[in-house]
Structure formats: C-alpha cells, structure tokens
Amino acid sequence: MRPVVKQPLLRHLGLRDYIPVWEAMRAFTDERGSDTRDEFWLVEHPSVFTQGLNAKPEHLLDTGAIPVVKTDRGGQVTYHGPGQVVLYPLIDLRRLGIGVRHLVSALEQSVVDLLADFEVNAYPRRDAPGVYVELPGRGEAKIASVGLRVRRGCSYHGIALNVAMEMTPFQRINPCGHAGLAVTQLKELGIDLDVKTAGERLAARLTERVASSE
C-alpha cells in the first residue's frame, strides 16, 4: 500500500525573475526529504527566452534586448513574459509511483481539461510536447509549452500557459524549435481569465490528474 500523500501546497509567487525562481526550484529539490510535501508554484516571469538542454542556437532568430537563459529543463527554446502563467510542479515522482512521461501527460491534459470548461477543443502532440488548438482560418496554434527536469526522482520546471500577453516576442524565435509555429493565448480564444485565476484552475486540474494516478 502506498503512503498517504498530502495534496500539493499551492504557492503564488507573483511576478518574479526567471533565474532566482529556477535556483529556488533546484534548491528545494536538492534539499527535500522523503516526507517533504509536494508543492505547485504559480509565477509570471518578466520577458525572457529560455533554452532547454536540446536547444539549438539557430532557433533564436532576433532576441533583441530580451535576455536569453540556458537552463536545465528538457526541450528547445520558448518565451516567458507577463500575462503568461507558469506552473512548476515540485513533485516526488518516486513516492507517487509515476514516471516523467506520466507527469508530462498530466500537465498537458490539465490544460486540455481547463479549455474544455470553455468548450474549446485542445490536444497534445506526442512529436512536439505541449498543448495545441485549431484557430479558424489559421490552423494549428500552440497555447502551452512543457519542459521538465527530474533530479533524485523529483520534478521541477513545468508548463507555461499563455493567458493574456504580448505575443510578438514569439516571432523572434522558432517556438520549441519549430519554424513558423503559430502561438495563441486564452484571450484570443475568447476566454476571459486573469493570470491568477487561470493558474489556480490549472493547478486544480493538475491536482486531480496527479491524484488519479495514485
């Protein structure tokens, strides 16, 4: 029988620079013990491009004054900025008995579930992690990006959902390493949520998804 695991503690970090939050996630993961409660961190970042471990420099097209950070998550290059909610699940995967692929799927399906509440059909792609929707007259567009790291059997980094943000920086990169990939946000889909509310709803959906795996 698996031990009883408490529901993750939800922390609202507000608008925080990327690097200090990244360092805090690493420290939390390195210092946690077998009984440490899992946490979900909700945060917005000031404008920044981040490159994952598989990132290729040619996918940075014209970064201008926006800083670029090479980080230790999986995946390619993406953009974070105000108006986007980032959910970082700091989860002990071994304790839950789940793997990385399961957590990636749970993150993606949490966005799918959230959009379904507003009668928007969204879907993941196995060949290009993240969540996508179909836009009338534009075709497929990405609305959420996923990138994780696992150390000592515990996860950090997570999923970024575009809510109501300035989208032009995405044109300065090949999002997630895909040239010409269209990117969208909740606002464009007619979903009127602020970042805090969107983050809370996403965290609730992820809690349900993770709990169902126990």
Gap between the Cα atoms of 134 and 80, Å rounded? 22
Gap between the Cα atoms of 65 and 125, Å rounded? 32
Gap between the Cα atoms of 43 and 112, Å rounded? 20
Assess whether 176 carries a catalytic annotation: yes
Give the annotated binding-site residues for substrate.
73-80, 145-147, 158-160
Give the annotated binding-site residues.
73-80, 145-147, 158-160
| Dihedral angle, C-alpha 205, 23, 37, 95, nearest 10 ° | 80
C-alpha pair distances (Å), 82 with each of 1, 146, 175, 197: 43, 17, 17, 14
Angle made by CA atoms 122, 7, 150, in degrees to the nearest 5: 70
List the structure tokens of 173. 């990169």
91, 163, 176, 195: the active-site residue: 176
Catalytic residue IDs = 176
